[in-house]
A and B are shown apart, each in its own frame.
Chain A
């Protein structure tokens, strides 16, 4: 059987995950020094790592070519899913929020509001639950620009510290949902390779601090 394969989202989540894996004793040197390679082995863990964009992590895990994946809850909420979402990894914390220009009552007025967002599904669901009709405009990046230029009345976007909003004259009107990094698992993989996957998850939980870290970790490769 091929080794377990984990897809990590490139960038900050990749770095945080590597830190976590190293903290629990896995040798991620080949993941750090990848060069041109695309499939990166973790020799003392019996698994390999693949790096991809967040949306692609879902595609790879859903199809089963990767058994596990690490990505933000924001992408999961936007793309929907058929996989197991087993662990909140704790890092990458931020939130979805509705933001609008400061000192203006966003909800006032009869006209349909125009909302700019990089996450149309999340935005649509949020307003559907409120029973509010909105016009959604998809913006690929720097969504704060839309209300400043007068294209939108508000935005639904990821907010961390709130500094970007402040600097652009926007403020949070309402929180939509919390976001953090999650571990997802392909349905068939969990059933066919339960032992190996549960072992890895147990160790990750130790690393996150859910369990007592004093336990001695025996790094033998588990096979089903």
Chain B
């Protein structure tokens, strides 16, 4: 029974016209920006060995990856992420280059999302990796670029939230808890479940670390968070961590972005993967982050070439969706339909060539009669027909509304 030949698989969809325009427009804008800042594009294969994502470090839950086997029975996956393959690439092929290495990418990633939540299993990611830069300047640059990306997309309302995973890691280490308990605490902090977090941490009292962990998800807001955190967090690591975060915050404020930047010390997603400053960006109208990034100093070491690294990724599909919703996309309409009398085909193609080189959008009429061409022009709202015969003249399409 043939039903699957007319529909696309769950989690995938076709993109048409303005949707493509929105996507391509963003790709052009962002790649232009990345190139101007000295980043070079790399492309990794859509199919990679499973081991790349799930051996030394399992940053990717195996349930989310699309798996297949090759001719020799080895397990492959469809790329669920771009940063990890690029680390593989940089560690094996680029180790000789002067540091820092600046790379960017523009590739789809594939994830097996839970069914029927309206999520796409195929999403276009663009992002940058700054490999070999361990300094604060590198972190600040990533944030400045992330903000510029959001601004250049033309979306008025956006927010960037920043954090350092160091706070959580330093505190959780001080706690005498097993791995499972630590993971539970992390989940409760991530979901800002204050009630359950308090209850769970009570078993570790008395403990300064437990008290501080209770407060962590509530430490979010603007400048005031620094004072609150300084009072709460006791220990040798914290002044340095606060200074690092403050450096970023002040830097962004000095760039005029004070209103758009927030701090959230409870941002503990992917705590395994990140090692320092982490951040996410949000835009009005989209219910999840459109940009996410941070420092990941351990990843390159997994591939045999220890190097500090930082970067971020943009979910192009979500940003394109926001632009379409905001009515920011206007596809250019066809200006002219070129119709010719029999025998004048060559002349018509000449006209087509001439007019398109002047920047006009022209269509070649494949119809035999002028009537058919006029009907088509009306249906497609093309304002003018250029009639090419013994003489050439313009015919205005009847019933055409002023554009």
Is there contact, CB below 8 Å, between A188 and B191? no
Is there contact, CB below 8 Å, between A192 and B159? yes
- A47: Cβ under 8 A from any B Cβ: no
> A88-B195, A194-B221 are known contacts. Are A188 and B287 too (CB-CB below 8 A)?
yes
- Which B residues lie at the A interface, using CB under 8 A? 114, 117-118, 157, 159, 161, 191-196, 220-221, 262, 264, 282, 284-289
Is there contact, CB below 8 Å, between B221 and A188? no
- A223: Cβ under 8 A from any B Cβ: no
Q: What's the minimum C-beta distance from B265 to chain A, rounded to whole angstroms?
A: 14
Cβ 8 A contact of A59, one of B117, B157, B193, B284 = B117
- A27: Cβ under 8 A from any B Cβ: no
Determine the distance from Cα of A86 to Cα of B194 in the docked complex, in whole angstroms.
6
- A65: Cβ under 8 A from any B Cβ: yes
Contacts of B117 in A (CB 8 A): 59, 62-63
Residue on A nearest B193 in the bound complex, by CB: A85
Cβ 8 A contact of A63, one of B114, B118, B157, B161 = B118
Determine the distance from Cα of A64 to Cα of B117 in the docked complex, in whole angstroms.
12
Determine the distance from Cα of A191 to Cα of B260 in the docked complex, in whole angstroms.
10
- Interface members, chain A 40-58 (any B CB < 8 Å): none
Is there contact, CB below 8 Å, between A192 and B282? yes
Determine the distance from Cα of A188 to Cα of B283 in the docked complex, in whole angstroms.
8
- A186: Cβ under 8 A from any B Cβ: yes
Is there contact, CB below 8 Å, between A191 and B191? no
Q: What's the minimum C-beta distance from A178 to chain B, rounded to whole angstroms?
A: 10
- Interface members, chain A 69-117 (any B CB < 8 Å): 80-88
CB pairs A–B below 8 angstroms (15 shown): A59-B117, A62-B117, A62-B287, A64-B285, A80-B114, A84-B191, A84-B192, A85-B193, A86-B192, A87-B194, A188-B282, A190-B192, A192-B159, A192-B282, A194-B220
Contacts of A88 in B (CB 8 A): 195
Determine the distance from Cα of A143 to Cα of B285 in the docked complex, in whole angstroms.
41
Q: What's the minimum C-beta distance from B284 to chain A, rounded to whole angstroms?
A: 6
Cβ 8 A contact of B284, one of A1, A62, A83, A84 = A1
Determine the distance from Cα of A88 to Cα of B287 in the docked complex, in whole angstroms.
23
Q: How many residues of A contact B (CB 8 A)?
A: 24
Contacts of B192 in A (CB 8 A): 84-86, 185, 190
- A39: Cβ under 8 A from any B Cβ: no
Contacts of B288 in A (CB 8 A): 64, 82, 187-188
Contacts of A63 in B (CB 8 A): 117-118, 287
Known A85-B193, A185-B192; further 13 A-B contacts with Cβ < 8 A = A64-B286, A64-B287, A64-B288, A84-B192, A84-B193, A85-B196, A87-B194, A187-B288, A188-B288, A191-B159, A191-B262, A191-B282, A194-B220
Determine the distance from Cα of A83 to Cα of B194 in the docked complex, in whole angstroms.
13
Could you give, for residues 157-196 of chain A, a 1 whenever the CB lies within 8 Å of some chain B CB and a 0 otherwise?
A: 0000000000000000000000000000111111110100
Contacts of B285 in A (CB 8 A): 64
Q: What's the minimum C-beta distance from B193 to chain A, rounded to whole angstroms?
A: 4
Contacts of B286 in A (CB 8 A): 64, 188
Contacts of B220 in A (CB 8 A): 194
Contacts of A62 in B (CB 8 A): 117, 287
Contacts of A84 in B (CB 8 A): 191-193
> A85-B192, A85-B193 are known contacts. Are A194 and B287 too (CB-CB below 8 A)?
no
Residue on B nearest A188 in the bound complex, by CB: B282
Q: What's the minimum C-beta distance from B385 to chain A, rounded to whole angstroms?
A: 44
Determine the distance from Cα of A1 to Cα of B284 in the docked complex, in whole angstroms.
9
Is there contact, CB below 8 Å, between A85 and B161? no
Contacts of B118 in A (CB 8 A): 59, 63
Interface centre among A1, A59, A191 (most CB of B within 10 A): A191
Determine the distance from Cα of A59 to Cα of B118 in the docked complex, in whole angstroms.
9
Contacts of A64 in B (CB 8 A): 285-288
Residue on A nearest B195 in the bound complex, by CB: A88
Residue on A nearest B159 in the bound complex, by CB: A191
Residue on B nearest A67 in the bound complex, by CB: B287
